[in-house]
Amino acid sequence: MNSKIDTITYKVGVKIRIERMKKGLSQEKLAELSNIGTNSISSIERGVQSPTVETVGAIAKALDIELYKLFIFDI
């Protein structure tokens, strides 16, 4: 995979983890709210799995934030 894509995947994962923790949610609860497997949430947050736009959208909805905010990398 392209290293630039890998970096974006990693940053999106970190951003999801930060937002999840701000909301006080466990990975299990986020998985339940977004209808995504717990293993997938873990892999996405670690940058191991590159999520689809639909998956990121479901996570954003579960976190009650606008989708684009998961792509603002101030981290």
Hey, which CATH number is domain 3-71, 3.40.50.2000, 3.40.50.300, 3.30.70.120, 1.10.260.40?
A: 1.10.260.40
User: How would residue 73 be classed by pLDDT, with cut points 50, 70 and 90?
Assistant: confident
Tell me the C-alpha distance between 23 and 15, whole Å.
12
pTM of the model: 0.90
Per residue in 2-31, pLDDT tens? 666 689 999 999 999 999 999 999 999 999
| Residue partners of 25: CB distance under 8 A and separation at least 6 | 33, 63
Residue 5's pLDDT is 61
- CA atoms lying within 13 Å on the CB side of residue 7: 5
- Residue 42's closest CA among 4, 16, 64? 16
